[in-house]
Structure formats: structure tokens, C-alpha cells
Amino acid sequence: MNELTEGIFTDGLGFDGSSIRGWKGIEASDMLVMPDPGTTFVDPFSKYPTLSLICDIEDPLTREPYDRSPRGIAKKAEAYLKTTDAGDTCFCGPEAEFFIFDDVRFGGASNHASYSVDSNEGIWNTNKEEFPSLGYKIRHKEGYLPVAPNDKLVDIRNEMILTMMELGIEIEREHHEVATAGQAEIDIRYSSLLKCADKMCIYKYVVKNVAYRHGKTATFMPSPSSATTAPACTRTSPLESRQAHLPRRRLRRPVQKRALFHRRPPQALPRPLRHYEPDQ
């Protein structure tokens, strides 16, 4: 803690940008991390008390935000939105899905390549000796909202949720997802783009570390098994704007207007909605 001074929030801390693939070449590798004091939290997984912060990235010479930093891009997107007539704020409500595996293996050499993932929930383990084998395997595409003992991950998901809540992340719901082999979903409460992105970084950190603490591996990879439903990250992202063009004397409080909501037929949709294409 002796190195935690007010100066690091204005001067930043240097690091080697060339060590991050795709960021900087070795000839221009000096970069700065600028800690954001509003993102501070105590790491719940470290043996010794550890303070964690989310940082912005800057060029040490120009002090301009780095154009490949995801957090910097999110800030630019929020600033640009305010200059348009589409809205003032973009809210994001992600519904992230992931797998929790009991065994993960991969390998490769000049003459072979292989990988395998396994889960004690997997339907392919119905004939596996498990000392004892009790059944309760989830069939393909029948994993949506099962209960115990088919759903064997309730306690792990609850531990993930409680840890996130301790770190200030509001949780809406959780459940087992469609696929066999430990597919899960935990939904967090919507917030603005940048705040939501920061929360999702902590979300993934918590999910992976809680799983690891239980001797399991959590992954957000798109499709770890060809026979299972692929995880997604569905998100709701309405744009809201304030009707600033109305006479002030008629406004008792700011009027919220959803730029992406319209009751008219598709051909009469407002321009912001026709140009807004959400994806996953």
C-alpha cells in the first residue's frame, strides 16, 4: 500500500504494451494505466488483502486515450451518442451464459491435435463408473430450468451470485441453461454502457475463480462441444433521450423518451431505430 498515492491517479503507472498481443510494437511499447478510483474493490480470491482497480489506457507522450482499449472505446461511444439525436444514454442488460466443466484437456504436436471437455452432468456419461453411478444426467437440449439432483450446480451458481453482490453487482436471476454438461446463466441488472462493461469484467473474473475454487473450469467460449447448445451473451440495450426541444415552462421534470421504441408499422419506424442493429 506504500505505492498507492494520489499521484498514480494523475500520472498513471507504466507498462509494456508490446506484451499484449495486437496492442503495440516493441518500438512503441511504453504505455500508461490510469486507475479509476470509482472501480476499487477488494479481491475476494486472494490469500492476502489485495486492492483491485479497473484502469484506462493512455499514451505516455500525448496522454491521449489508447484507441484499442475496450474501455476507451466504450467511453468514446457514450460521448458520441450524446452528440446524436438517437439518445443520451445506452443501457445494457447482459444475460451471459457459460459452461462449468469437471475436466478439460487439450494437446497437439506435429502429428496430432486433440481436446476434450467433460461434466458429470453430461448425457454421454450415463454408462460411466462413478462409484456409485446414480444417473441424473441431463439430455441434450433439456437443461432449461431443471432442479436438483439433475442440476448439480445450484450451490456453485449461488456462491458466484453472493460474491458478485458483495462486489456491488446487482443480480436479477440465475438458472441452468438449455445444454447438458453444466451450462449456466446469471443475469445482472442493466446499467449504462461503461458501467455495465466494468461489471462484466468482474463478473467473468468471479465466475472463473469460484469454479476453480470448486475444482472446476468455467468457460465463455462459443461452442465447446458440437452436440451442445452454444453459450451466448444476449443483451437488451435501449437508448434513451431527453426531449430538450419542448418549452421549458411546460416541463416539470425531464421527459424520458425511448429512441428505439415505436408502435407504428416497420416502414414508419424512426430513423434511429432503423439504423440501430443490435447483435450478440
Alpha carbons 150 and 177: distance in angstroms, whole number: 12
Q: DSSP assignment, residue 66?
A: P
Higher pLDDT, 242 or 13: 13
Write the pLDDT tens digit of every residue in 165-223.
Answer: 999 999 999 999 999 999 999 999 999 999 999 999 999 999 999 999 999 999 998 88
pTM recorded for the entire structure = 0.84
Q: Please give the pLDDT value at position 236.
A: 63
Q: Please give the pLDDT value at position 255.
A: 45
Residues near 71 by beta carbon (within 8 Å), at least 6 away in sequence: 54, 55, 56, 57, 194, 197, 198
Alpha carbons 16 and 29: distance in angstroms, whole number: 5
Write the pLDDT tens digit of every residue in 214-255.
Answer: 999 999 988 888 777 767 666 666 666 665 443 433 334 444
pLDDT over 70 at 10, yes or no: yes
Write the pLDDT tens digit of every residue in 45-89.
Answer: 999 999 999 999 999 999 999 998 999 999 999 999 888 877 788
